Homo-oligomer: A and B are copies of this chain.
Amino acid sequence: MSQVLPAEGGLRRVIGDGESFPDGEVEGLGPDELLALYRNLVLLRTYDERSVVYHRQGRIGTYAIFWNHEAMQAGGVFALEERDWIFPAYRESAIGLLRGMPVSTVLSWWRGHPSGWWNPAEFNVASICVPIATQIPHAVGFAWGSALKGEDRVALTFFGDGATSEGSFHEGATFAGVMKAPVVLFCNNNHWAISTPLSAQTAAPTLADKAIGYGMPGIRVDGGDVLAVYQATREAVARARAGEGPTFIEAVTYRAAPHATADDPSIYIDLERVEVEKENECVGRFERYLLRAGVLTEARVEEIKQEALELMRTGIVEAEAEPPADPGLVFEHAYANPPPALADDLAELRRVLGE
């Protein structure tokens, strides 16, 4: 049995506060990488902020906001190779952007348009998983199956603090431990599951304390610190690649935006804490770090933001230019060899629609 250390207590941090806590750095990350990471953060941030606007304008449907979750998403993915797979929850709906997925694809998903449904194998990004925690066993099975085939592919799955209460989390983590699957279980602990606070979700001292129950290390990291997230994930990925099995990462943050566009958190959330969190949001933190380090200039910041905005502008135009979906698509893709009844149904529908 491999040795398992108790979960870490404190939160790992790299980025300083420009005052008492000094900036650290991550070995192996040069200016190019740091800039690339920053660009990813900005891309996600811009996607998120614009999506909220598009929703208000009625151009996309209900939308699950991930504002201030960008450091976890970008930092986690930055530790992967292209051949590694990502298994997102709905909170990471735009994670494909980091793999070159067109903006219009993700927007189309939120527009309820078929062009929002992609081929996971094209981006090594699984479909958005709407039911909480159920993607975890998928990631584990994928990682286990890849290792069985002798393929060097790691799987990383994102999920929330609430997700750790689901049986699916438990069963997935159990399989991961037993199969020594090369998988990273990445928990975004934003302290809320819609309106349910972490204290009503679990009595565990920390979520990372769950890891030992599956025989895997549990790491705790500041979820607003993209470098700390990257570093922790890189460690986990290295373990996975070395055949040492899964790692549980608890990235700690606080949800500073509504759960989704339909939600009004003012009924339940700690608004003061939200203000603090907003002040300290993750993109700005990294930006200031890079400015301090001289890797970034104000001008470059502006440029990168404009690039991202431009991508969004094109993306929404493309998404809106998609031709209306053919109702006949209702009958496509459910089966490779559909039962004959479906053809009759389609014919009937076409007749009724007068087509």
Binding site for B on A (CB under 8 A): 1-2, 4, 6, 165-171, 174, 177-178, 180, 199-205, 209-216, 245
Contacts and interface: CB of A to CB of B under 8 A. Distances in A.
A150 to B, nearest CB: 22
A257 to B, nearest CB: 25
A204 B200 contact: no
Nearest to A170: B170
A276 to B, nearest CB: 21
Contact of A177 (B2, B177, B202): B202
Contacts of A178: 200-203
Contact of A167 (B4, B6, B170, B180): B170
B215 A205 contact: yes
Contacts of A2: 203
Given A167-B171, A204-B213, A212-B212, 14 more contacts: A2-B203, A4-B204, A165-B174, A167-B167, A167-B168, A169-B170, A170-B170, A170-B171, A177-B204, A178-B201, A178-B202, A180-B203, A202-B215, A210-B212
A181 to B, nearest CB: 10
A212 B216 contact: no
Contacts of A209: 212-213
Nearest to A1: B205
14 contacts: A1-B203, A4-B204, A4-B205, A6-B6, A166-B167, A167-B168, A167-B171, A169-B170, A178-B202, A203-B245, A205-B215, A209-B212, A212-B213, A213-B213
A166 B171 contact: yes
